[in-house]
Amino acid sequence: MKDMGKLIDWKKKGNELRIRFEHREMIITALTDEIINVFVPIWSDEHRSKAVEESDLKRVAKSGPTSVDVKAVEEIKEGNGLRPEAGVELRTGKLKVKISNEGCVDFYTLEGKLLSGEYRGERKPIITLGIWEMELLKAEGHTVADTVLGKPVNDVRAVDPDEHFYGLGDKMGLLDKRSYEYENWNTDDPSAHNEQYRSLYKSVPFLICKKKECAYGLFYDNTFHSYFDLGKENPEYMAYSAEDGNLDLYFIGGESIKKVVGNYTLLTGRAPLPQLWTLGYHQCRWGYSSAKDIREVAEKFRELGIPCESVQYDIDYMDGYRVFTWNEKDYGKPGELFKELGAKGYKPVVIIDPGTKREKGYFMYEEGTEGGFFFRNSDDTEDYVNAVWPGEANYPDFGRKEVRDWWGKHINELCDMGVAAIWNDMNEPASFNGPLPLDVVGYDEERKTTHRELHNVYGHFMAKATYDAMKEYTGKRPLVITRAAYAGTQKYAAVWTGDNQSLWFHLAMMIPQLCTLGMCGYPVCGVDIGGFGADTTPELLARWIEASCFSTFFRNHSANGCIRQEPWKFGKEVTDIYRKYVKLHYRFLPYIYDLMHEEEENGLPVMRPLVMHYEDDEVTYNLNDEFLVGEKLLVAPVVTPGERVRKVYLPEGTWYSLWTGAKHRGRRFFLEEAPLGHMPVYVKAGSVIPMYEEMSYVGEKPIDRISLLTTPEGGSLVHYQDGGEDFSYREGNYNLYRFDVDGTGKTEITMLNEAQDVKPYDYFRVIRLH
Ligand code: MIG
């Protein structure tokens, strides 16, 4: 880090190295052999992390470093062209960190390979501003250097010419984020998100860097407005900066992308195993505006034999968009429709926005005002007012426990009504009367602060409030779906990518976007199938349901005013294709569930970019139109209109077509027939994949049998089965099977764990591809 001044002295205490420089201190902490925190307290002495909580640190401590040694070094010579410099060196069981006397921090493997070196030169920003913008800057008394370079928190790191970047949450752009520029400032922008968008709804300042034969991660834990320039300004470096806060960098080693992701999620937490039904199919529309609408749609799914778990309740179910109220006029008595549809297997999922209507006599307004639970205006004299759906509204200050508890109490009332899952929207937070001023007052627990610091964690805290309340109250694994998030929100919520549109380009972007969310610790994620805004077409919807077949958040959703988007609106051909892929999703549900269970252990997502498993294969570095499900399935959806033959790439190994059993040699491209309704899917040789029988919804009938899909080589499978709802699996209440299937289909079963009260399968059968 620049501007530290000269090194004065240093002291090692346990895993921690404190270095005093002329102008600042730097604290290096080895949390594990591979996770190293570099902390420069520019703004506060403590970390004040929202992503890494006390409980996270306790968990990480269990994998503490095997050794931490520190010594002074005369000359730091190693590394690609770095000048010899004196400084201090910290070594763990896996990594070496060198801190120069000028405060530059470089990370190496123990063998001396440079993973990430601080850039020693000056930043040379390319001026991309137009004449008009330049004039404006001048008029306001700024220079370009002020705006691009004048941030208090900076880290500029040298990058290799062939280095690739992944991660950063829900950001647009391709899988490889090199040459893009991004901002972390949660943003609700309903226009069509394009490739060059710098920010969307979430801020996950975690970057995965892939160099020849190694990978590492950089997690900049800072909730203020921050920026990444990934070699756009200059191909020699990447630059991170933030408007305020500390430099709080976690360097994440691990050699492979998989291990880096595993380490990042060890640090920020892993998504808990969801209830089985939540992984099924969901239908939604902003515009199902009465009990009649919901009922009709729910019944139609059953009638057409298309599986479905929920028809979700968007904002119209509320009385005048007042949160925690019910519109009886259009939806009948609270809870009645839930019961009626519950009998048909439907679980109620309702939307809850944060914006609380300002209206005398409305209980949320009265309680919130009375309790002092809302954001305050900048001079802290009155509650801050903006507007959202209900008109003038206040914003709950979720950073305080008492506010979260208050909110949670009302969440519990929804649970009493029968609500099974909560969908959180508008929590960037969105506002109709211009953005919230940065100096709006809120709290981080007892500490008074402003929206500048709290903005990017607003959705995070709202999701936490909801998750904690539901978990405690119901004892079940809560499904909270959130639009806004920060790093670590995966502990509390699943995510969707907000308002996409019915555009072929958005169908295509789904693949890098969801793969990226997965690499950033969000295994339960999805996009609005069919597109939220704009009007979908029969072909687009058919291709969209194909491509989403393996999504963990699997929901068709569309906006009021756009064409209705249920499959039957598009005739028999589309309905048949739709049914085929929703049914296929349910058949593969046990595979997805196994992967989610494994994710709690290894942090790996369900949907993965090929580069995660084939890191030495350059073709995969920026492959945007294929993905893996776990490592056994490869999916190559058609995402281009009119295309009926697809170019498919299969990596190393042997693969079998799921549909025909045709055998393919990997590490090559080939053409595959892909008429409408046919999505190329391949099974890796030596795989055994669990499958259920067909069902209309989870809970329709006991799941008493399992099928094992195998390739001609046979293989083995560790398969997990539990009751699908509560947390008793954490006390061992689950069955764990190992199936060893040989080349003839003969199968040996070993029970690795037996549940107290989960009935094992009565039957199994082997389905052999050949
Ligand atoms: O300003 O609740 O992204 O899924 O249907 C729009 C209405 C508010 C935005 C969400 C979308 C939802 C819609 N909401």
Catalytic residues: 425, 428, 499
Residue with tokens 């509320």: 318
pLDDT at 145: 64
Judged by average pLDDT, the poorest of 3-17, 117-131, 133-147, 339-353 is: 133-147
**What mean pLDDT value characterizes the chain?**
96
pLDDT at 136: 73
Query: Is 90 exceeded by the pLDDT of residue 81?
Result: no
Judged by average pLDDT, the poorest of 148-152, 388-392, 468-472, 745-749 is: 148-152
Residues whose CB falls within 8 Å of the CB of residue 731, separated by 6 or more in sequence, listed in order: none
pLDDT band at 147 (very low <50, low <70, confident <90, very high): low
Model confidence pLDDT, tens digit, residues 597-630 = 999 999 999 999 999 999 999 999 999 999 999 9
pLDDT at 770: 84
**Spacing, Cα 528 to ligand 1 middle (Å):** 11
Q: Per the structure block, which two tokens stand in for 650?
A: 């299969």
**Spacing, Cα 321 to ligand 1 middle (Å):** 12
Query: Is 90 exceeded by the pLDDT of residue 79?
Result: no
Question: Cβ–Cβ contacts within 10 Å for residue 727, how many?
Answer: 14
CB 117 within 8 A of CB 81: no
Tell me, using a 6 A CB cutoff, whether residue 155 lines ligand 1.
Answer: no
CA pair distance 260, 268, nearest whole angstrom: 12
Give the mean pLDDT of 436-444.
98
**Which of the listed residues 202, 313, 314, 560 should we mutate to test ligand 1's pocket, taking the one with most ligand atoms within 8 A of CB?**
314
pLDDT band at 747 (very low <50, low <70, confident <90, very high): very high
Model confidence pLDDT, tens digit, residues 268-317 = 999 999 999 999 999 999 999 999 999 999 999 999 999 999 999 999 99
CB 622 within 8 A of CB 644: no
Tell me, using a 6 A CB cutoff, whether residue 318 lines ligand 1.
Answer: no
Judged by average pLDDT, the poorest of 103-112, 122-131, 152-161, 327-336 is: 122-131
pLDDT band at 125 (very low <50, low <70, confident <90, very high): confident
CA pair distance 611, 616, nearest whole angstrom: 8
Question: Cβ–Cβ contacts within 10 Å for residue 438, how many?
Answer: 16
Nearest in space to 455 (alpha carbons), one of 405, 535, 522, 384: 384
pLDDT at 148: 63
pLDDT at 1: 86
- Whose CA is closest to atom 6 on ligand 1? 426
Residue type, 702: P
Q: Per the structure block, which two tokens stand in for 706?
A: 């399992």
List, edge to edge, every strand of the sheet that includes 528-529: 310-311, 281-283, 554-556, 528-529
CA pair distance 606, 592, nearest whole angstrom: 7
Model confidence pLDDT, tens digit, residues 318-359 = 999 999 999 999 999 999 999 999 999 999 999 999 999 999
Do the strands 391-394 and 654-657 form a parallel or antiparallel pair, or are they unpaired? unpaired
Q: pTM for this one?
A: 0.97
Residue type, 618: E
Measured from the Cα of 425, ligand 1's closest atom is 10
pLDDT at 229: 94
pLDDT band at 123 (very low <50, low <70, confident <90, very high): confident
pLDDT at 146: 65
Measured from the Cα of 389, ligand 1's closest atom is 1
**495 vs 190, more confident:** 495
pLDDT at 124: 78
> If DSSP codes are grouped into helix, strand and coil, which group holds residue 615?
coil
